[in-house]
Structure 1
Amino acid sequence: MTDATASTLLAAARERLRGSPQERLGEAVAPRRVFGLGRAARVVPVHEAWHVGVLLLSDDAAFATGEILRARSEAIRGFTAESQRARAELAAAARRGGFGEGEVVHLAWQPLDIPLVDRGGTSGPLSVAGGVVHVRWSAAGATRPLADYLAEQLSLR
Protein backbone atom coordinates (compact mmCIF):
# COMPACT_ATOMS: atom_id res chain seq x y z
CA MET A 1 0.00 0.00 0.00
CA THR A 2 2.70 2.49 -0.92
CA ASP A 3 0.20 5.01 -2.31
CA ALA A 4 -1.87 5.19 0.91
CA THR A 5 -1.50 8.53 2.66
CA ALA A 6 -1.86 9.16 6.36
CA SER A 7 -5.14 10.96 5.57
CA THR A 8 -6.65 8.00 3.73
CA LEU A 9 -5.47 5.45 6.32
CA LEU A 10 -6.85 7.49 9.21
CA ALA A 11 -10.13 8.16 7.38
CA ALA A 12 -10.59 4.41 6.86
CA ALA A 13 -9.85 3.80 10.55
CA ARG A 14 -12.45 6.41 11.54
CA GLU A 15 -15.05 4.66 9.39
CA ARG A 16 -14.33 1.36 11.16
CA LEU A 17 -14.58 3.09 14.53
CA ARG A 18 -17.90 4.86 13.88
CA GLY A 19 -20.44 3.91 16.51
CA SER A 20 -17.85 2.82 19.06
CA PRO A 21 -17.31 4.89 22.21
CA GLN A 22 -14.81 7.70 22.32
CA GLU A 23 -12.72 8.87 25.26
CA ARG A 24 -12.30 12.48 26.34
CA LEU A 25 -9.15 14.54 26.13
CA GLY A 26 -8.51 17.01 28.90
CA GLU A 27 -6.52 20.17 29.41
CA ALA A 28 -5.30 21.63 32.67
CA VAL A 29 -6.83 24.99 33.56
CA ALA A 30 -4.87 27.36 35.74
CA PRO A 31 -6.73 28.02 38.98
CA ARG A 32 -8.43 31.42 39.22
CA ARG A 33 -8.64 33.51 42.29
CA VAL A 34 -12.17 34.24 43.50
CA PHE A 35 -12.55 36.99 46.10
CA GLY A 36 -8.81 36.79 46.69
CA LEU A 37 -8.86 33.06 47.44
CA GLY A 38 -7.10 30.51 45.25
CA ARG A 39 -9.14 27.66 43.79
CA ALA A 40 -8.00 24.11 43.16
CA ALA A 41 -6.61 23.24 39.73
CA ARG A 42 -8.96 21.56 37.26
CA VAL A 43 -8.64 19.45 34.15
CA VAL A 44 -11.49 20.18 31.74
CA PRO A 45 -12.69 18.15 28.75
CA VAL A 46 -11.78 19.71 25.38
CA HIS A 47 -12.10 16.95 22.75
CA GLU A 48 -13.37 13.41 22.24
CA ALA A 49 -11.43 10.80 20.31
CA TRP A 50 -11.02 7.10 19.73
CA HIS A 51 -7.94 5.70 21.46
CA VAL A 52 -6.02 3.61 18.93
CA GLY A 53 -2.67 2.67 20.47
CA VAL A 54 -0.34 5.67 20.30
CA LEU A 55 -2.95 7.67 18.38
CA LEU A 56 -6.13 9.47 19.31
CA LEU A 57 -8.52 9.95 16.39
CA SER A 58 -11.35 12.45 16.51
CA ASP A 59 -13.84 13.02 13.72
CA ASP A 60 -11.61 15.64 12.13
CA ALA A 61 -8.17 15.49 13.77
CA ALA A 62 -5.47 13.17 15.04
CA PHE A 63 -3.40 13.43 18.19
CA ALA A 64 -0.45 11.60 19.72
CA THR A 65 -1.27 10.10 23.10
CA GLY A 66 0.27 11.56 26.21
CA GLU A 67 -0.53 10.66 29.79
CA ILE A 68 -3.58 8.50 30.49
CA LEU A 69 -5.30 8.32 33.86
CA ARG A 70 -8.69 7.81 35.45
CA ALA A 71 -10.56 10.64 37.14
CA ARG A 72 -11.22 10.07 40.81
CA SER A 73 -12.33 12.00 43.83
CA GLU A 74 -9.77 13.50 46.08
CA ALA A 75 -8.95 11.36 49.10
CA ILE A 76 -6.28 11.24 51.75
CA ARG A 77 -3.76 8.67 50.64
CA GLY A 78 -0.26 7.67 51.58
CA PHE A 79 2.24 7.72 48.72
CA THR A 80 5.58 6.02 48.38
CA ALA A 81 6.62 8.22 45.47
CA GLU A 82 6.13 11.85 44.53
CA SER A 83 5.06 10.74 41.03
CA GLN A 84 2.10 8.87 42.59
CA ARG A 85 1.09 12.02 44.43
CA ALA A 86 1.26 14.06 41.21
CA ARG A 87 -0.90 11.53 39.32
CA ALA A 88 -3.46 11.47 42.15
CA GLU A 89 -3.61 15.29 42.06
CA LEU A 90 -4.21 15.20 38.28
CA ALA A 91 -6.92 12.56 38.70
CA ALA A 92 -8.65 14.71 41.33
CA ALA A 93 -8.30 17.81 39.11
CA ALA A 94 -10.00 15.90 36.28
CA ARG A 95 -12.85 14.91 38.59
CA ARG A 96 -13.26 18.56 39.66
CA GLY A 97 -13.17 19.62 36.00
CA GLY A 98 -16.17 17.55 34.96
CA PHE A 99 -14.91 14.04 34.26
CA GLY A 100 -16.90 11.21 35.83
CA GLU A 101 -15.55 9.00 38.59
CA GLY A 102 -13.31 6.38 36.96
CA GLU A 103 -13.55 7.96 33.49
CA VAL A 104 -10.45 7.68 31.29
CA VAL A 105 -8.74 11.04 30.80
CA HIS A 106 -6.08 11.77 28.17
CA LEU A 107 -3.63 14.54 29.09
CA ALA A 108 -0.53 15.98 27.42
CA TRP A 109 -1.74 14.82 24.00
CA GLN A 110 -0.23 16.51 20.95
CA PRO A 111 -2.05 17.47 17.74
CA LEU A 112 -0.61 15.83 14.64
CA ASP A 113 -0.06 17.62 11.33
CA ILE A 114 -1.51 15.01 8.97
CA PRO A 115 -1.12 17.16 5.79
CA LEU A 116 2.59 17.44 6.63
CA VAL A 117 2.86 13.65 6.90
CA ASP A 118 0.97 13.33 3.59
CA ARG A 119 3.69 15.50 2.03
CA GLY A 120 6.42 13.18 3.37
CA GLY A 121 7.16 14.93 6.66
CA THR A 122 7.10 13.81 10.26
CA SER A 123 4.59 14.72 12.95
CA GLY A 124 4.67 13.06 16.36
CA PRO A 125 4.89 9.28 15.95
CA LEU A 126 4.02 9.43 12.22
CA SER A 127 6.61 9.58 9.45
CA VAL A 128 7.13 8.45 5.88
CA ALA A 129 9.89 6.05 4.84
CA GLY A 130 10.23 4.74 1.31
CA GLY A 131 6.87 6.25 0.38
CA VAL A 132 5.06 4.32 3.16
CA VAL A 133 3.52 5.99 6.20
CA HIS A 134 5.01 4.57 9.41
CA VAL A 135 4.21 4.89 13.09
CA ARG A 136 6.64 4.73 16.01
CA TRP A 137 4.65 2.80 18.60
CA SER A 138 7.12 3.29 21.47
CA ALA A 139 9.79 5.85 22.25
CA ALA A 140 12.58 3.30 21.94
CA GLY A 141 10.92 1.05 19.38
CA ALA A 142 11.29 0.85 15.65
CA THR A 143 8.66 2.11 13.25
CA ARG A 144 6.18 -0.05 11.40
CA PRO A 145 3.77 0.64 8.54
CA LEU A 146 0.75 2.60 9.75
CA ALA A 147 -1.64 0.42 7.71
CA ASP A 148 -0.46 -2.72 9.54
CA TYR A 149 -0.50 -0.97 12.90
CA LEU A 150 -4.07 0.29 12.44
CA ALA A 151 -5.27 -3.12 11.22
CA GLU A 152 -3.81 -4.77 14.33
CA GLN A 153 -5.13 -2.14 16.75
CA LEU A 154 -8.62 -2.18 15.23
CA SER A 155 -8.76 -5.98 15.31
CA LEU A 156 -8.32 -5.81 19.09
CA ARG A 157 -11.60 -3.89 19.53
Structure 2
Amino acid sequence: MTGTDTDAAALFASARERLVDAPRERLGDLQEGRRFLGIPRAARIVPRGTAWHLGVLLLTDDAVLATGDIVRSRAEVRRGFAAESQRRRAELAAAAARGGVPEGATVHLGWHPIDLSALDAASRPLALREGDALVRWSAAGGWMPLARYLDERVELLRHPPERA
Protein backbone atom coordinates (compact mmCIF):
# COMPACT_ATOMS: atom_id res chain seq x y z
CA MET A 1 0.00 0.00 0.00
CA THR A 2 1.19 3.48 -0.74
CA GLY A 3 0.99 6.37 1.68
CA THR A 4 -2.24 7.66 0.19
CA ASP A 5 -3.87 4.21 0.35
CA THR A 6 -2.90 4.05 4.02
CA ASP A 7 -4.39 7.53 4.49
CA ALA A 8 -7.68 6.44 2.94
CA ALA A 9 -7.72 3.28 5.07
CA ALA A 10 -7.06 5.41 8.18
CA LEU A 11 -9.92 7.75 7.24
CA PHE A 12 -12.31 4.80 6.97
CA ALA A 13 -11.04 3.31 10.24
CA SER A 14 -11.70 6.63 11.96
CA ALA A 15 -15.19 6.78 10.44
CA ARG A 16 -15.94 3.27 11.75
CA GLU A 17 -14.94 4.35 15.26
CA ARG A 18 -17.27 7.35 15.11
CA LEU A 19 -20.14 5.26 13.73
CA VAL A 20 -20.17 2.48 16.34
CA ASP A 21 -23.61 3.46 17.68
CA ALA A 22 -25.04 4.73 14.38
CA PRO A 23 -27.78 2.79 12.57
CA ARG A 24 -26.86 0.39 9.79
CA GLU A 25 -28.75 -0.65 6.69
CA ARG A 26 -29.09 -4.09 5.16
CA LEU A 27 -27.06 -5.40 2.23
CA GLY A 28 -28.63 -8.00 -0.02
CA ASP A 29 -28.36 -9.92 -3.26
CA LEU A 30 -31.20 -10.69 -5.61
CA GLN A 31 -31.73 -14.43 -5.88
CA GLU A 32 -33.80 -15.43 -8.87
CA GLY A 33 -36.57 -17.88 -8.07
CA ARG A 34 -35.85 -21.55 -8.62
CA ARG A 35 -38.33 -24.09 -9.83
CA PHE A 36 -39.99 -26.29 -7.25
CA LEU A 37 -41.82 -29.29 -8.73
CA GLY A 38 -41.76 -27.50 -12.07
CA ILE A 39 -43.38 -24.35 -10.72
CA PRO A 40 -41.24 -21.18 -10.86
CA ARG A 41 -40.85 -19.43 -7.52
CA ALA A 42 -40.66 -15.67 -7.15
CA ALA A 43 -37.31 -13.94 -6.74
CA ARG A 44 -36.24 -12.82 -3.27
CA ILE A 45 -33.49 -10.77 -1.75
CA VAL A 46 -31.11 -12.72 0.48
CA PRO A 47 -29.27 -10.93 3.29
CA ARG A 48 -25.54 -10.27 2.93
CA GLY A 49 -24.83 -8.25 6.07
CA THR A 50 -25.15 -4.63 7.13
CA ALA A 51 -23.32 -1.39 6.46
CA TRP A 52 -23.36 2.27 7.31
CA HIS A 53 -24.76 4.23 4.37
CA LEU A 54 -22.53 7.22 3.67
CA GLY A 55 -23.94 8.69 0.48
CA VAL A 56 -22.26 6.97 -2.46
CA LEU A 57 -20.32 4.68 -0.10
CA LEU A 58 -21.26 1.81 2.16
CA LEU A 59 -18.93 1.10 5.06
CA THR A 60 -18.85 -2.35 6.67
CA ASP A 61 -16.69 -3.57 9.53
CA ASP A 62 -13.98 -4.64 7.11
CA ALA A 63 -14.75 -3.21 3.66
CA VAL A 64 -15.68 -0.15 1.64
CA LEU A 65 -18.41 -0.63 -0.95
CA ALA A 66 -19.86 1.51 -3.71
CA THR A 67 -23.64 1.81 -3.52
CA GLY A 68 -25.95 0.36 -6.13
CA ASP A 69 -29.74 0.33 -5.95
CA ILE A 70 -31.58 1.11 -2.74
CA VAL A 71 -34.98 -0.50 -2.24
CA ARG A 72 -37.53 -0.08 0.54
CA SER A 73 -39.25 -3.36 1.36
CA ARG A 74 -43.02 -3.57 0.90
CA ALA A 75 -45.61 -6.26 0.36
CA GLU A 76 -46.50 -7.18 -3.18
CA VAL A 77 -49.73 -5.66 -4.46
CA ARG A 78 -51.30 -5.55 -7.90
CA ARG A 79 -51.24 -2.14 -9.46
CA GLY A 80 -50.82 -0.52 -12.81
CA PHE A 81 -47.57 1.19 -13.74
CA ALA A 82 -46.92 4.04 -16.11
CA ALA A 83 -43.33 2.95 -16.65
CA GLU A 84 -41.43 -0.33 -16.76
CA SER A 85 -38.90 1.08 -14.28
CA GLN A 86 -41.69 1.51 -11.71
CA ARG A 87 -42.72 -2.09 -12.22
CA ARG A 88 -39.13 -3.27 -11.70
CA ARG A 89 -38.78 -1.23 -8.48
CA ALA A 90 -42.05 -2.71 -7.16
CA GLU A 91 -40.77 -6.22 -8.00
CA LEU A 92 -37.55 -5.53 -6.08
CA ALA A 93 -39.49 -4.14 -3.10
CA ALA A 94 -41.65 -7.29 -3.05
CA ALA A 95 -38.54 -9.50 -3.38
CA ALA A 96 -37.12 -7.74 -0.32
CA ALA A 97 -40.29 -8.53 1.64
CA ARG A 98 -40.13 -12.18 0.51
CA GLY A 99 -36.49 -12.29 1.66
CA GLY A 100 -37.44 -11.32 5.20
CA VAL A 101 -36.66 -7.59 5.13
CA PRO A 102 -39.20 -5.90 7.43
CA GLU A 103 -41.70 -3.69 5.62
CA GLY A 104 -40.40 -0.14 5.25
CA ALA A 105 -36.76 -1.10 5.87
CA THR A 106 -34.18 -0.36 3.19
CA VAL A 107 -31.87 -2.86 1.54
CA HIS A 108 -28.92 -2.15 -0.76
CA LEU A 109 -28.53 -4.16 -3.99
CA GLY A 110 -25.91 -4.10 -6.70
CA TRP A 111 -23.17 -2.77 -4.43
CA HIS A 112 -19.56 -3.67 -5.17
CA PRO A 113 -16.35 -3.63 -3.11
CA ILE A 114 -13.72 -0.96 -3.62
CA ASP A 115 -10.07 -1.98 -3.39
CA LEU A 116 -8.33 0.84 -1.52
CA SER A 117 -4.92 -0.40 -2.66
CA ALA A 118 -5.85 0.09 -6.32
CA LEU A 119 -7.63 3.43 -6.49
CA ASP A 120 -7.79 4.66 -10.07
CA ALA A 121 -10.38 5.90 -12.55
CA ALA A 122 -12.10 2.47 -12.50
CA SER A 123 -12.54 2.41 -8.70
CA ARG A 124 -15.52 4.75 -8.76
CA PRO A 125 -16.64 6.61 -6.78
CA LEU A 126 -13.17 6.89 -5.19
CA ALA A 127 -10.02 8.02 -6.96
CA LEU A 128 -6.54 9.36 -6.37
CA ARG A 129 -5.65 12.70 -7.90
CA GLU A 130 -2.26 14.25 -7.29
CA GLY A 131 -1.83 12.05 -4.22
CA ASP A 132 -5.17 12.99 -2.61
CA ALA A 133 -8.03 10.55 -2.03
CA LEU A 134 -11.20 11.99 -3.57
CA VAL A 135 -14.82 10.93 -3.82
CA ARG A 136 -17.31 11.73 -6.55
CA TRP A 137 -20.58 12.27 -4.71
CA SER A 138 -22.81 12.03 -7.80
CA ALA A 139 -22.47 11.09 -11.46
CA ALA A 140 -22.72 14.74 -12.48
CA GLY A 141 -21.01 16.14 -9.39
CA GLY A 142 -17.42 17.08 -8.92
CA TRP A 143 -14.69 15.47 -6.87
CA MET A 144 -14.48 16.19 -3.16
CA PRO A 145 -11.69 15.41 -0.65
CA LEU A 146 -12.49 12.08 1.02
CA ALA A 147 -11.77 13.37 4.54
CA ARG A 148 -14.28 16.21 4.24
CA TYR A 149 -16.89 13.96 2.61
CA LEU A 150 -16.61 11.36 5.38
CA ASP A 151 -16.80 14.04 8.09
CA GLU A 152 -20.03 15.42 6.60
CA ARG A 153 -21.64 12.02 6.01
CA VAL A 154 -20.72 10.64 9.43
CA GLU A 155 -22.16 13.74 11.09
CA LEU A 156 -25.39 13.43 9.06
CA LEU A 157 -25.75 9.78 9.98
CA ARG A 158 -25.08 10.37 13.67
CA HIS A 159 -27.25 13.51 13.86
CA PRO A 160 -29.84 13.48 11.06
CA PRO A 161 -31.80 16.66 10.36
CA GLU A 162 -35.17 16.92 12.03
CA ARG A 163 -37.86 14.86 10.25
CA ALA A 164 -35.30 13.18 7.97
The alignment's TM-score, normalised by the length of structure 2, stands at 0.88
Identity %: 56
Aligned residues: CA RMSD = 1.4
Partner of residue 161, structure 2: none
1:62 to 61, 64, 80: 64
Partner of residue 32, structure 1: 34
Deviations 1:61-98 (A, max 9, x none): 11001111101100111211111111000000111011
2:74 to 52, 72, 76: 72
Partner of residue 160, structure 2: none
Q: Which moved more, 1:86-95 or 1:28-37?
A: 28-37
- For 2:116 and 2:104, the matched residues in 1 are separated by 32
Moved over 3 A (4+): none
What amino acid is aligned across from residue 47 of structure 1 in structure 2?
Answer: G
Partner of residue 133, structure 1: 133
Question: Do 1:7 and 1:115's aligned partners in 2 also have CA atoms closer than 8 Å?
Answer: no
Residues matched between the structures, number: 153
Deviations 1:23-58 (A, max 9, x none): 011101121111111100111111210001110000
The alignment's TM-score, normalised by the length of structure 1, stands at 0.92
- For 1:132 and 1:46, the matched residues in 2 are separated by 31
- For 1:21 and 1:152, the matched residues in 2 are separated by 16
Partner of residue 93, structure 2: 91
- For 2:152 and 2:22, the matched residues in 1 are separated by 17
What amino acid is aligned across from residue 126 of structure 2 in structure 1?
Answer: L
- Partner of 1:5, secondary structure, is helix
Cα distance, 1:115 vs. partner?
A: 2.1
- For 1:52 and 1:30, the matched residues in 2 are separated by 28
1:47 to 30, 46, 49: 49
Unpaired segments ≥5 residues, structure 2? 158-164
Unpaired segments ≥5 residues, structure 1? none
